[in-house]
Amino acid sequence: MRILTCFATIFLFSSVLVAQYTEVGMAVGVSNYAGELTTNGFRPSEYHPSIGIFGRYNHSPRLAAKASVNVGQISGSDINSGNASTLSRNLDFRSPIYEIAAMGEFNVTPYAIRNNQGAALYLTAGVAGFYFNPQAQFNGEWFDLQPLGTEGQETAANPDQKRYNRFQASIPFGGGVKLNVTDRFNLGIEVVFRRTFTDYLDDISGLYPDIEALYEENPLAATLSFRSPQYTQQAMGNPVGTQRGNSDVKDYYMFMQVTMSFNLTHKQGLDFDEKYDIFKDPPPALSSLMSWELIPQA
């Protein structure tokens, strides 16, 4: 994870400093999540504001690379999930998402501002590292869930079951549209999903632990692990070993953002450096030049 973070950071700032066909900009939009506390993907009620910065290096009219840093929030609730069968589970969470990513872009149509090809649909994919920290509210106060071991992690009954790591990797994939508005300024919109390698974005994955044993060790952990009695308003039996989540399916999160960026060169600036040749009008065909030279002059 540290190697990924260093790579993306170096890429981002080196792309800013090198005076090539590079863009730097910011992104604003929304973030969301899909997991145990949503039904049929991303719930409209769980969108939250997000913001980011990025650097994009345009390698050719078809290919680009981008490094970005994004901050957002995700949340979910059995009450809002639309799934009647899980209402009594009564679990909910919120979590920040701090992400750094490196992605490649393929322009479905050429994107070369010198040729007035200033609009493109693109596909994108890459790698990312992120930090999350699920929390739940109880009696008006928010508590970090990972240290509590709500599924029995690192408790006296399960000392070998390790707590999940809040630093994780993901695979971003998606697409967008970008538009060159002026020689310097670009606008765009993109939707990028992140497939994670954890099922604990919402602190829910496997089976209920022994709630009675957990209560003796940590009453708060037991209370936030098994919240059905708060919903039914009556005492319930120990759910030990019954299904709390679905560990077979990993969680997802996403960012849908409007992008605004500035070119570190401009349309006319592409004329003065050989490294921009790939973005310029193609030279006349050699055959055309030869034919011109063979035309008798008056």
* pLDDT for 125: 98
Q: How confident is the model at residue 280 (pLDDT cuts 50, 70, 90)?
A: low
* pLDDT for 113: 85
* pLDDT for 279: 72
- What fold does the segment set 2-294 form as a domain? Porin (2.40.160)
CB 127 within 8 A of CB 6: no
Mean pLDDT of the region 245-256: 95
Mean pLDDT of the region 64-89: 91
* pLDDT for 2: 52
Cα–Cα distance between 178 and 191 in angstroms, integer?
12
Q: Is residue 63 predicted with pLDDT exceeding 60?
A: yes
pLDDT tens track for 14-46 = 444 343 579 999 999 999 999 999 877 899 999
Strand 185-196, strand 252-263: pairing: antiparallel
* pLDDT for 110: 93
Q: Is residue 274 predicted with pLDDT exceeding 90?
A: no
Greater pLDDT, 279 or 29? 29
For the chain, the structural domain boundaries read 2-294
Cα–Cα distance between 111 and 14 in angstroms, integer?
22
pLDDT tens track for 89-135 = 999 999 999 999 999 999 999 998 888 889 999 999 999 999 999 99
Cα–Cα distance between 259 and 52 in angstroms, integer?
9
